[in-house]
Structure formats: structure tokens, C-alpha cells
Amino acid sequence: MPEDDFTSEMRALDLADPVLFKWGRLFSADVVIHGKCQIIEGEQVTVELTALNIGKEHFVFQDAQAEGLEEGVDQFDEIIRVVERAVNKIAGRLSPAILKDVEVGDSKRSTLLLMLKGLENFKQFREFKAFLEKEVKGVQSVKQTKVRGKTIYITVIYSGEEESFLDRVLHHAKLPFQTEVSGSEEGAIVFELKR
């Protein structure tokens, strides 16, 4: 789990959309799928799923599927199989809608690999990640991919070119620390903290 404070509303059984967007950002997810399942004993299973686009903060798709239960079925394994069958049918309809929504504007998206060198603690990484997500226009996703000593590797999905990203980061008034950017190392843009 990411190191963060989880409010009581984030732990509620029934989560509102703003809270779901918060969970999605916390895990750097592109899409969050949530839903509910109702089991009417001896009759049917109903599953309802909703997909939300985290970067654009909007509703993508909602669908439901009902599957009949054979009379007298009360074995947990059999009920789970019926639920899985319902989910698989919804997934077949949900997946194309998600892909279509996420792919809009992909022609201008860049996947950037960054190396943060010289970090003194994980809090500095969290500050930089929050800065990218909240302050840098065009950043759609920030994911930590690897840690090696005092270096953290992150992948950034950005709607634009690398030069535009660097310009927005390095000239931003809220950049959390002074940094030098050097050329590519292991295919990554290197951000080295100044002491």
C-alpha cells in the first residue's frame, strides 16, 4: 500500500466517485472499476460494474449482468462460478469502452522514464510525485517502477513531448527542490537533487 493517510470516507463500504478518484490517483491508476454484487438465494446473481477515468475524472461506462442460480445451490464455490460468469460477460462489453476512452488523444502522449537521484528519504519522492500529478499540466499518470539505493525510477504518462514536459517542470514555481537535469542514462531523464 502507498504510504498515505486514509480518511474514514476512503474506508467506507460504499465509496462516492470523488473518493474513487482519490484512490485511483493514490495508485496512479488510469481507470478504476467498482461495483456491487447481489445474490438472491435460490434465484439469481446480479453484478453491476462502473468504470471511471482517473486522469480525466469522468464516468466511462456502466453495465450489469444477471445470472440464474439453480434451485437449491448454496455451495460457495458454485456461487463464485456464477459471479465470475457474470463478470466475464460484463468485461466483454466494458473493455472496449475503456480502451476507446483511454486511447482518445494517445497520438500526442509520451511515456517518459525519469530517474530521481540523490533522494534523502521517501518523503521527497512523495512530494515530487504530488507536484507532478497536481501542478504539471498534461501529466496523466506517475508510477514508481524501481528503487536502487538513493535512486527512484518513475514512469510518467504525459500529453505532449519531452521538451514541453521538462520546460513545465523546471520552470515551475512550485518545484519542491532544486534539481539538475542531465542527459539520458539507461534510457531515462535524470533529475539529480542539488545539495
Nearest by Cα to 128 from 160, 172, 186: 172
- Contact of 116 with 193, CB cutoff 8 Å: yes
- Tens digits of per-residue pLDDT, 26-57? 887 889 999 999 988 778 999 999 999 988 88
pTM of structure: 0.52
CA torsion angle for 53, 49, 87, 11 (degrees, to 10)? 90
> What ranges do the domains of the chain cover?
8-103, 107-193
pLDDT digits (tens, 9 = 90+) for 128-162: 999 999 999 889 889 998 888 888 999 999 988 88
| 23 CB-near residues (< 8 Å, 6+ apart) | 10, 15, 29, 32
Class of domain 107-193: alpha beta
pLDDT at 125 over 80: yes
The reported pLDDT for the residue numbered 73 is 61
